[in-house]
Amino acid sequence: MLAHQSLGDFGQCGQDLPAEFVKTTVLDNTPIRWFYRAASLESAQWAAGQTGEIRVDVERRRASREAGNVEHISGDSFIQKEARPLFDVNTLQHLPDGFAVMTGLGVARMAFSSPLRVERREIPLQRFPVLAKTDPLAEFRPPADGGGPKADDDFAGIY
């Protein structure tokens, strides 16, 4: 998962790696993206392009001006379909604190993140849990007949 505010974040990768290489590598290998409020227009436009497109109806009317700056709007309207990003540049530049646009898990959608607020306190433990794990070598018991090699065996002296 990739969470960032600006494409310029990739320029801070250190001097031993080219920023464009890091940017391409990271973006190609992170399918889930979390876009916070975009600080720059370039980042907002790029993020808007990542959210997918929807078709919207756009109504157009003809307006004309006469002397004295009087506008006349005709009663005729033209409705046509246009494509626009699901989350436009304006939305991405004005996200509230804690909100983001998430892509990569189906249709892009708004997401919210917030740190959990907790009070720091000690938790006294009365008992410490012991995890029982058997050791097969420690529990080995030789057979009743001695279990080792017999005296007539060539290797009896080793044991």
**Ranges 7-11, 76-80, 95-99, 144-148, most confident:** 95-99
Whether the pLDDT of residue 152 is over 70: the answer is no
Residues whose CB falls within 8 Å of the CB of residue 114, separated by 6 or more in sequence, listed in order: 98
Q: What is the pLDDT of residues 43-89, one digit of tens each?
A: 899 999 999 999 998 888 888 888 777 887 777 888 889 999 999 99
What 3-state class would DSSP assign to 145?
coil
- Which one-letter amino acid corresponds to residue 89? V
